[in-house]
């Protein structure tokens, strides 16, 4: 009964957040005619769009490390071409369709089962990849929120005025995670959650890779924006905050929620129409291109398998 209630509450929260974000974006779009936004899109330098596209390739190269490290963790090494195929397909699809844990897990299960891995081993790979995601989030939140001066608008209704407290908590969690892996050989049990023990060398690589993932992802949008009174260092904090809001909303791709947070923080001083144009370009480059690539890769793989069976 309680589980059913939580499922209903989760759906209700997602619908509510999506509705709020859609209303907020509608209000913004009503202030700026489509022609004005289109003109703002045209002001994005071609060089910036090309650099952003290169950064997308770099970012997905980093993302392939998630599965590469995961199969090493479970001691079932596969070819890099295989783990790269899984990573690009799973992230390319799940980043756009939302419900990342469910969608990416289903794709990983589909590939790894076909390559002879047991369901238990696949489950450990999925756990490691999702753990890696949160390791990157906590590391970036800890470092950036403690070192960058970010002003939070009251409209976000956060229970704190400064992100430094949150940054301290995040950094403490990461240091505790690394300390546990260095001093113990056992899995860490936290209530109902059981975190696997990761060898220290692998854990350090995990922190570095996942942090680089978030930095390159933020840099893609940063390069598409007009000049900001923020360095990339500070913008990473704004970006992570917006993405977290989108993740917890369970709205596909954080659509609307992510944009709303950035609008509240960056506009003003950044003109809202210019920000919206950059966000549209970011959606097309970072979500649209990998989604197309993932669909082509998945289709080619399934066609190749069918031909082998025939």
The average pLDDT across 77-101 equals: 84
Q: Which of 66-75, 101-110, 162-171, 264-273 has the lowest mean pLDDT?
A: 264-273
State which H helix or E strand residue 194 sits in: strand 193-195
**Could you state, in order of their start, the residue ranges of all structural domains in the chain?**
36-130+207-309
pLDDT at 72 > cutoff 80: yes
Query: Which alpha helices (DSSP H) does 148-288 contain, by range?
Result: 164-183, 200-224, 232-249, 257-266, 272-282
Q: Could you tell me the two tokens for 209?
A: 């890779």
Beta 193-195 vs 188-190: how paired, if at all? antiparallel
Name the pTM for this structure. Answer: 0.80
pLDDT at 198 > cutoff 50: yes
Task: State residue 155's pLDDT score.
Answer: 60
**Residue-by-residue DSSP string for 4-28:** HHHHHHHHHHHHHHHHHHHHHHHHH
Report d(CA 298, CA 253) in Å as an integer: 20
SS (H, E, C) 159-177: CCCCCHHHHHHHHHHHHHH
Residue 6: pLDDT band with limits 50, 70, 90: very low
pLDDT at 17 > cutoff 50: no
Task: State residue 307's pLDDT score.
Answer: 73
Residue with the bigger pLDDT between 49 and 274: it is 49
- Going by C-alpha positions, the residue among 54, 55, 77, 53 that lies closest to residue 67 is 77
């Amino acid at each position: 009964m309680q589980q059913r209630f939580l499922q209903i509450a989760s759906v209700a929260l997602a619908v509510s957040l999506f509705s709020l974000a859609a209303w907020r974006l509608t209000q913004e779009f009503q202030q700026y005619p489509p022609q004005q936004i289109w003109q703002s899109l045209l002001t994005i330098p071609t060089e910036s769009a090309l650099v952003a596209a290169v950064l997308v390739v770099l970012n997905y190269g980093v993302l392939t490390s998630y599965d590469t490290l995961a199969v090493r963790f479970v001691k079932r090494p596969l070819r890099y071409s295989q783990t790269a195929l899984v990573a690009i397909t799973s992230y390319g699809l799940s980043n756009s369709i939302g419900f990342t844990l469910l969608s990416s897990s289903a794709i990983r299960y589909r590939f790894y089962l076909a390559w002879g891995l047991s369901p238990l081993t696949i489950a450990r790979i999925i756990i490691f990849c999702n753990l890696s995601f949160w390791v990157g989030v906590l590391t970036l939140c800890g470092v950036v929120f403690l070192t960058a001066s970010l002003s939070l608008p009251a409209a976000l209704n956060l229970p704190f005025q400064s992100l430094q407290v949150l940054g301290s908590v995040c950094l403490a969690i990461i240091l505790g995670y690394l300390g546990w892996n260095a001093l113990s050989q056992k899995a860490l049990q936290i209530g109902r959650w059981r975190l696997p023990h990761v060898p220290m060398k692998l854990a350090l690589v995990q922190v570095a890779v996942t942090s680089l993932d978030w930095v390159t992802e933020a840099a893609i949008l940063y390069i598409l924006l007009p000049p900001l009174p923020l360095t990339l260092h500070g913008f990473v904090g704004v970006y992570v905050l917006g993405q977290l809001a989108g993740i917890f909303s369970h709205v596909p791709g954080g659509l609307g929620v992510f944009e709303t947070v950035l609008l509240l923080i960056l506009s003003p001083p950044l003109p809202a129409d210019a920000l919206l144009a950059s966000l549209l370009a970011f959606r097309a480059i970072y979500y649209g291109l990998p989604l197309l690539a993932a669909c082509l890769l998945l289709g080619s793989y399934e066609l190749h398998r069918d031909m082998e069976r025939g």
